[in-house]
A and B are shown apart, each in its own frame.
Chain A
Amino acid sequence: MTYQPAAIDDDLNILPKLPAWVTSGRAETLETVAFRSGTALTVLDQLVTDPRHGVPVKLLANQMALKAATATSKLEGRLAREADIRDAYHLTPPGEARGPDGDLLAFWRNAARLKLTGRDWHDSVQGLVGTAFADDVSRLMAVGADCAKSHGPLAGCIAVMRAVLEVDDRVERIASLLSDIVLAQALGWKVVLPVTAQHLTKTMLRDLIGDGQGVDLVVQQRILQSIEGTIRLARDLATRAAALRAVTPKLRAKGSKAAADLFLSEDAIGPSMMLSPTIQGTTIAMTDRAARRFCDRLVELGVACELTGRPTFRLYGVVP
């Protein structure tokens, strides 16, 4: 089958990317940040909303959720590593407590699953932020949305973060989440991509509510940096997804199609937990052994990799 790779190459050429003048050099003033973020957001918007580009959006969102969880863990002073957080989430048997790290990832994964359409999306956001903030959400979101309208999306992100942290300076995750929602709304996205938290530090957040000089610029730069990283990740995922889709017809195991689809929405897959006894989200049965062999086969074909480096409790995903 020689025609398949050619098709992938064509796909790659049309994937939108950041022009060199955005990535070269640093944005030194609010104006340049605004200009560059506009370009970056346009590119990201195209990648995320246009299905022709083949970006697996669910996988992207889950991957971003893991990064956001790692970043907020740092902000909250728990300093859990990405691998620990992933293990805590994926190795918890159903019905048992995930612990703080697993809960944090669950928070961000639920955030990435928020639907911003329909009349009740405020309710789901309130459910996510918990009791203490439930009443304030609408007001805080309005602060962010107003600022986004008058000063641009990144300024809106900062406004809502500042408003949240002024109420309580220890809810970094809620501040970042509402900022992500403001951004998603400003761009008219139906889903939330957790981009804000990734490069923030505790000092920046403290300066946001203190009298830090030029902190707005610094935080905007960090969010821009994260948006640029997301574009790279989205392009990378699109390539890897295309490769996986290309080999799927070659896989003969029963349920291969459904299992491969799962790889296009989940960033880490434990074969014995998510593919067996039935493939998650379907009723297709797969034995433990078949699930392991399937994952090994994907690794052999070079379209997936093992994430943990362990001999047991392995987790597989399309991105290393």
Chain B
Amino acid sequence: MTPTAKQKHTRPREAGREGVFDRELADLPQELRWREWMGRIEAVLFASAKPVRRDDLARVVGQEASVEMLIEDIQAELEGRPYDLSEVAGGWMFRTKTQFAEAIKAAADFGDQSMAFTEMEMGVLCAIAFHQPIDRAGLKEIFGKEVSRDLLARLRFKDLIASGPRAPRPGAPHTFVTTATFLTMFDLQTLRDLPKLDLAVGNADEEIQPTQN
């Protein structure tokens, strides 16, 4: 099939889909259209507890609109608000500024969504983050004692770790890897933002830049 023939095939289908939800807003003047798009993106982010990926945001605005520029405009408007729009784990989300953490803690009852960690939980989470994929036997080597299944289940329940590849050992235990939620919670873009351990010799000069892109 020639490229032009393909084009003819795809066009009407797309037009049909556009009819359901008006992305382009072609009937609005330029200025209003942009405001509407900003509003849509802000609304989508506001309604979501998780970071929203770029492709998902791109679906609610016009084909030609740049999601990045819309987001920049929203960020500019949020100047001075107690929350901001930040890029985490390959998406965007609203987050309160850290200076208000105490106030939120004092006022709200988090109940089961509490993210308080015991020292051991934090230790295990760190070990998994740095050594993933790692199974329970590997964790035992690090800590010198069995890491309880309950503790791992708690971390898994908080969606910070997930099952990874099987370890090639008898019994095929599954290993643990960190999740996107883990990155979001600790404000990391990628695993490379983890503080560098001085374990790798000859690699010390490759200091990780604390700045975000």
Contact = CB atoms under 8 A, between A and B. Distances in A.
Interface string B147-191: 000000000000000111111101010110101000000000011
Given A77-B203, A312-B170, A97 B163 contact: yes
A12 interface: no
A170 B193 CA distance: 10
B133 A88 contact: yes
B133 A101 contact: yes
B108 to A, nearest CB: 31
B203 A79 contact: yes
A93 interface: yes
A97 B133 CA distance: 10
A98 B66 CA distance: 32
B165 A102 contact: yes
A135 B192 contact: no
A131 B206 CA distance: 25
Interface string B53-73: 111000000000011100000
Nearest to B172: A313
A93 B68 contact: no
Contacts of B162: 96-97
B132 interface: yes
Interface of A, secondary structure class, is: loop
Contacts of A188: none
A57 B116 CA distance: 52
Nearest to B190: A170
Contacts of A96: 162-165, 174
Contact of B164 (A76, A92, A119, A308): A92
A131 B54 contact: yes
Contacts of B170: 312
A77 B179 contact: no
A310 B172 CA distance: 13
Given A76-B192, A77-B192, A99-B177, A93 B166 contact: yes
B6 interface: yes
A93 to B, nearest CB: 7
B165 A170 contact: no
B47 interface: no
B: interface residue count bin = 35 or more
A100 B130 CA distance: 11
Given A131-B90, A168-B213, A313-B166, A99 B175 contact: yes
Interface in B59-102: 66-68, 87, 90-91
A132 B213 contact: yes
B179 A100 contact: no
A308 B168 CA distance: 10
Contacts of A101: 133
B107 interface: no
Contacts of B91: 131
B210 interface: no
Nearest to A77: B206
A132 B92 CA distance: 11
Interface in A52-92: 76-79, 87-92
Given A102-B165, A119-B3, A313-B172, A134 B177 contact: no
Contacts of A77: 192, 196, 200, 203, 206, 208
Nearest to B54: A131
B164 A102 contact: yes
A79 B192 CA distance: 12
Contacts of B190: 170
A89 B203 CA distance: 26
A110 to B, nearest CB: 16
A202 B166 CA distance: 31
A135 B206 contact: no
Given A79-B200, A130-B90, A100 B177 contact: yes
A98 B54 contact: no
Contacts of B213: 132, 168, 170
A168 B193 CA distance: 14
A88 B192 CA distance: 18
Contacts of A202: 206
Counting chain B CB atoms within 10 Å of each CB, which of A76, A89, A92, A98 scores highest? A92
A175 to B, nearest CB: 14
Nearest to B208: A77
Given A96-B165, A119-B3, 15 more contacts: A87-B168, A88-B164, A88-B165, A91-B166, A91-B167, A92-B165, A93-B163, A93-B174, A100-B132, A102-B165, A118-B3, A132-B87, A132-B90, A135-B66, A170-B190
14 contacts: A77-B206, A92-B166, A93-B165, A93-B166, A96-B163, A96-B164, A97-B177, A98-B177, A99-B133, A102-B133, A132-B213, A135-B67, A170-B190, A202-B206
Cβ-closest 8 pairs across A and B: A131-B54, A99-B177, A313-B168, A92-B165, A91-B165, A99-B133, A99-B164, A97-B162
